[in-house]
């Protein structure tokens, strides 16, 4: 796979397949761009399909800065550096948080926005009861300190809990070379500290939110919260899905995404 060299000297691993209107996919915490295998297979014949490893993930360089401001800057620099934009940006889980920040800060580089299993605020608070308890993050940090592999396999199990999973899907998410414990914990701090609720009203792009109602990591209530605050939005819920519908129900997910993209395919 090729690398994009940022101005700060980081190498970001990416892949481009096909021609046409560009779709850029951003993965979630601890994962890599390979989670989008079923989407690349489906879309590359009709669209330019781009996957990117966020800094510290997959084959991309590590860093000591994992804020969403910085990650959104990486995405902007990447899109402009490869003359890709404006793109349809698909973000899953933490990648969706990055996508929200990109849409609110750099609207000119996006054509449309797709948020998959995303929340604007990962940790619950009095005025946002739809997040995870802070104790859950502290527990996950302790598990990572003890045994990174075991902690990540347990996290992957939570992502697909209660769903019939074929071996190929499990190998895609759980047989992996994980980021180091320092990187994983750095990103957890970002998730704990970041509140993107104020970014939602800035989003003016056509937006689709895709969320499984069985999601144990990002609640469906958080998806409804976002849908109530984004101007041009469509919420697609699936009753039998958890946190990774693009992997566990790729045919349904790809059909929904392609239908949404085709509404705007003839535009700029």
Identify the band that residue 200 occupies on the pLDDT scale cut at 50, 70 and 90. very high
DSSP string covering 136-179: HHHHHHHHHHH-HHHHHHHHHHHHTTTS---HHHHHHHHSS-PP
Q: Are 78 and 52 in contact (CB under 8 A)?
A: yes
Query: What is the dotted CATH code of the domain comprising 3-264?
Result: 3.40.50.1820
Tell me how far apart the terminal alpha carbons of the chain are, to the nearest angstrom: 28
Give the model confidence (pLDDT) of 220-265 as tens digits. 999 999 999 999 999 999 888 889 999 989 999 999 999 999 986 5
Identify the band that residue 165 occupies on the pLDDT scale cut at 50, 70 and 90. low
Q: What does pTM read for this prediction?
A: 0.95
- Reported in sequence order, the residue ranges of 31-109 that DSSP labels E, i.e. its strands, are 48-52, 87-92
- The closest of 1, 64, 71 to 29, measured between CA atoms, is 71
Structure tokens at 70: 């910085």
Domain ranges of the chain: 3-264
pLDDT given for residue 81 in this prediction: 96
Residue predicted with more confidence, 213 or 268:
213
Is it the case that residue 268 has pLDDT exceeding 50? no
Whether omega for the bond prior to residue 96 falls within 30 degrees of 0, making it cis, is no
Q: How many other CB atoms sit within 10 Å of the CB of residue 45?
A: 11
Distance CA 92, CA 75 (A): 14
Please give the mean pLDDT across all residues of the chain. Answer: 92
Identify the band that residue 211 occupies on the pLDDT scale cut at 50, 70 and 90. very high
Give the model confidence (pLDDT) of 36-57 as tens digits. 999 999 999 999 999 999 999 9
Residue predicted with more confidence, 117 or 172:
117
Is it the case that residue 22 has pLDDT exceeding 70? yes
Angle between helices 181-193 and 148-159 (to 10 degrees): 50
- Partner residues linked to 238 by β-bridges: 212
Question: Helix (H) and strand (E) counts for the chain?
Answer: 11, 8
pLDDT given for residue 177 in this prediction: 77
Q: Are 225 and 195 in contact (CB under 8 A)?
A: no
- Partner residues linked to 91 by β-bridges: 26, 115
Is it the case that residue 266 has pLDDT exceeding 90? no
pLDDT given for residue 174 in this prediction: 61
Is it the case that residue 1 has pLDDT exceeding 70? no
Identify the band that residue 267 occupies on the pLDDT scale cut at 50, 70 and 90. very low
Is it the case that residue 29 has pLDDT exceeding 60? yes
pLDDT given for residue 111 in this prediction: 94
Query: If DSSP codes are grouped into helix, strand and coil, which group holds residue 12?
Result: strand
């Amino acid at each position: 796979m090729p690398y994009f060299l940022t101005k700060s000297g980081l190498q970001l691993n990416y892949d481009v397949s096909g021609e046409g209107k560009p779709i850029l996919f951003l993965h979630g915490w601890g994962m890599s761009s390979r989670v989008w295998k079923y989407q690349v297979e489906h879309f590359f014949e009709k669209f330019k399909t781009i996957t990117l490893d966020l800094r510290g993930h997959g084959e991309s360089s590590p860093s000591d800065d994992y804020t969403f401001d910085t990650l959104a800057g990486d995405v902007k620099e990447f899109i402009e550096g490869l003359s890709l934009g404006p793109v349809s940006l698909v973000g899953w889980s933490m990648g969706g948080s990055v996508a929200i920040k990109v849409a609110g800060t750099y609207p000119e580089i996006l054509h449309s926005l797709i948020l998959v299993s995303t929340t604007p605020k990962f940790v619950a608070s009095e005025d946002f009861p739809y997040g995870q308890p802070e104790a859950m993050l502290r527990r996950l940090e302790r598990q990572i300190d003890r045994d990174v592999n075991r902690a990540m396999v347990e996290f992957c199990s939570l992502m697909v809990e209660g769903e019939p999973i074929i071996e190929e899907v499990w190998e895609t998410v759980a047989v992996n070379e994980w980021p180091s414990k320092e990187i994983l914990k750095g990103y957890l701090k970002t998730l704990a500290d970041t509140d993107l609720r104020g970014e939602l009203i800035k989003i003016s792009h056509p937006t689709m939110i895709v969320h499984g109602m069985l999601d144990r990591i990002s609640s469906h209530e958080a998806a409804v919260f976002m849908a109530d605050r984004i101007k041009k939005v469509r919420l697609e819920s699936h009753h039998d899905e958890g946190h990774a519908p693009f992997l566990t129900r790729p045919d349904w997910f790809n059909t929904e995404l392609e239908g949404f993209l085709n509404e705007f395919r003839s535009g700029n």
